[in-house]
Each structure stands twice: as structure tokens, then as C-alpha cells.
């Protein structure tokens, strides 16, 4: 089994949960992307709207102003492929025109009524992530009867909708949406059962880097002190067959995967 690809996170937002405000200036964002590429990132995921629990939605003009200059420069400087993390069809379109090569939608192409047809027309690979509700309210007491069955069924339905809209299965990535309307135990159950997602026949992306459930297992440490837990999830995800890992700490993740892979043979 080949090691998973690494998607390096580049948040150009003032309020992301772990790195909000750090990479807002264009040059700071480019420097961080360069570092992640050197460390072995296969894809750079640019996001201009925080979707952390409780985050406020961002107007489309503001989101475009944040992401387009970054996407453009990354593409020009050969720092891609670039993925655009957005829930809005217009941002998908304009980012693609600037050189984005992948779409990443935490609403699985449901937030914007135009996004399904836009994604089909653009012909790019697209990540469909599961979320229970909107970021503003999703962590208010999320409940499932059977989290594995429900997340799998929801993603199966979005995969089918994407295919019906003309997006071939080879271009569809599925993501369980760790932390998006899930308690610690929901997240752990989904990680334990990643195979159920793999069975849907699409590539699987896993994004658990620095997320809150890690702190829930270790003294409530802040996001920048969650590297150990993040790496542990990455190794677990690799073993379970994840095809790509969305991470903040590309170098440490790459190293851990290399050592684990060498031992596993
Ligand atoms: N998580 C976040 C954002 N986008 N996309 C996918 N496909 N999977 C994820 O798990 C995922 C995602 C949230 O993390 P982050 O970007 O670090 O923070 P914020 O949303 O606060 O910008």
C-alpha cells in the first residue's frame, strides 16, 4: 500500500482555530507554502473561511480577496497543486481560473446550490466532506443513533449526487469530517472504522490535524501542542488506507510515515 499523500493546510483567515491570522499577508502565506512543499506536501489547501466550531460565515467578496492572490502566486511559482477549501461556487470558479487544481468542500457541495454543477463543469477532483449542520452550530450536542452508518450513508448519497451531476467517481474524494458535528467518541468511532468509507469506492481524505478531540484526550492542550496526537492519527489513517492526510505539520508527518512505513516493510 503506498503511503498517503499529504495535503498541507494554508489558512488565510484571521480566525482559524489553530493558525488563525498567522498567514494573512501574501508573503507570509507564500513562505509557509514553500516550507510545506520543502517538507514534502503533495497538495497545498488554501482556505479563506474558517469552519471551526462557532465560526461566522464570510461574505464571498471577502473570501475571494483572501484566497485569489494566494492561489494565483502559488500556481505561478509552481508551489501547487493547489486545492481550494471553500463552500462557494463562485470561489471555486475564480480559484480554478487562477490555477487551483482541486476543490475541497466541507459541505460536500450542499452549501451553495450552484456548487454541484460548478464542480462538474470545472472537471477537477473534489473532496466531499461530511458535516452535521453548519459550522456555527454543529458542535451543539451532535447526536447519531449509529455514527458509522449515518456518516457512510450521507457520503454515499453525496457521492451518488456528484456522479449524477457528471463528476466521475475517480475524481471524488470522501472525508468523514473529523470534528464537524461530532463528539470525541464519534470521532474515535469514525477513525476506528475508516474501512466503511473506503468501501464506498472513492479515495479517502482524512483531516484530524490539531483538532479538539486530541485535546480531549490530553489535558485540554492548545492546538499548537497537539502534534503528537496529530501524528498518531496520521499513522492510524495510513494503516487504515487513507489516500491523503490534511495536516498542518507536514515535516513531522512525513517523517513519522517514513519510519512507520520502513518498519512495516
Ligand atoms: N477541516 C477543516 C477545514 N477544512 N477540509 C477537509 N476536507 N477535511 C477536514 O477535516 C477539514 C477541512 C478545519 O480545520 P482548519 O482548516 O485547520 O481550521 P479552520 O476551519 O478553523 O480554518
What integer pLDDT is reported at residue 24 of this predicted model?
64
pTM over 0.85: yes
Residue nearest to atom 9 of ligand 1 (CA): 207
What integer pLDDT is reported at residue 55 of this predicted model?
83
- Rounded distance from Cα 207 to ligand 1 centre (Å): 7
Residues 6+ apart with CB under 8 A from 220: none
- Rounded distance from Cα 150 to ligand 1 centre (Å): 21
Count Cβ atoms below 10 Å from residue 77 Cβ, excluding itself: 12
What integer pLDDT is reported at residue 233 of this predicted model?
98
Task: Tell me the best of 207, 213, 248 to mutate to test the pocket of ligand 1, counting ligand atoms within 8 Å of each CB and taking the most.
Answer: 207
Q: Which residues of the chain have pLDDT under 50?
A: none
What integer pLDDT is reported at residue 66 of this predicted model?
95
Q: Residue 73 catalytic?
A: no
Q: What pLDDT, in 10s, does the model give residues 96-132?
A: 999 999 999 999 999 999 999 999 999 999 999 999 9
Sign of CA dihedral 176, 179, 181, 184: positive
Q: Under a CB-based contact definition with an 8 Å cutoff, are residues 119 and 103 in contact?
A: yes
Helices 250-264, 227-239: inter-axial angle, 10-degree rounding:
40
| 83 φ/ψ angles, rounded to the nearest 5 degrees | -105, 145
Amino acid at each position: 500500500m503506498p503511503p498517503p499523500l499529504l495535503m498541507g493546510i494554508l489558512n488565510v483567515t484571521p480566525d482559524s482555530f489553530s493558525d488563525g491570522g498567522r498567514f494573512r499577508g501574501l508573503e507570509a502565506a507564500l513562505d509557509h507554502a514553500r516550507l510545506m512543499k520543502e517538507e514534502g506536501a503533495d497538495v497545498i489547501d488554501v482556505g479563506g473561511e474558517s469552519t471551526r466550531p462557532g465560526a461566522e460565515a464570510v461574505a464571498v467578496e471577502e473570501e475571494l480577496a483572501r484566497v485569489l492572490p494566494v492561489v494565483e502566486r502559488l500556481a505561478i511559482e509552481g508551489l501547487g497543486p493547489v486545492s481550494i477549501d471553500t463552500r462557494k461556487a463562485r470561489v471555486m470558479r475564480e480559484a480554478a481560473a487562477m490555477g487551483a487544481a482541486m476543490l475541497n468542500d466541507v459541505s460536500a457541495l450542499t452549501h451553495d446550490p450552484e456548487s454541484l454543477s460548478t464542480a462538474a463543469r470545472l472537471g477537477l477532483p473534489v473532496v466531499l466532506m461530511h458535516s452535521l449542520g453548519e459550522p456555527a452550530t454543529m458542535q451543539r450536542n451532535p447526536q447519531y443513533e449509529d455514527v458509522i452508518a449515518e456518516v457512510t450513508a450521507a457520503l454515499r448519497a453525496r457521492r451518488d449526487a456528484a456522479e449524477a451531476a457528471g463528476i466521475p467517481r475517480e475524481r471524488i474524494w470522501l472525508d468523514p469530517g473529523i470534528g464537524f458535528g461530532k463528539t470525541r467518541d464519534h470521532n474515535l468511532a469514525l477513525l476506528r472504522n475508516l474501512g466503511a468509507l473506503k468501501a464506498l469506492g472513492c479515495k479517502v481524505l482524512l483531516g484530524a490535524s490539531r483538532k479538539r478531540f486530541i485535546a480531549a484526550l490530553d489535558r485540554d492542550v492548545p492546538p499548537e501542542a497537539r502534534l503528537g496526537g496529530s501524528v498518531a492519527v496520521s499513522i492510524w489513517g495510513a494503516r487504515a488506507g487513507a489516500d491523503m492526510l490534511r495536516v498542518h505539520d507536514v515535516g513531522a508527518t512525513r517523517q513519522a510515515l517514513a519510519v512507520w512505513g520502513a518498519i512495516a516493510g
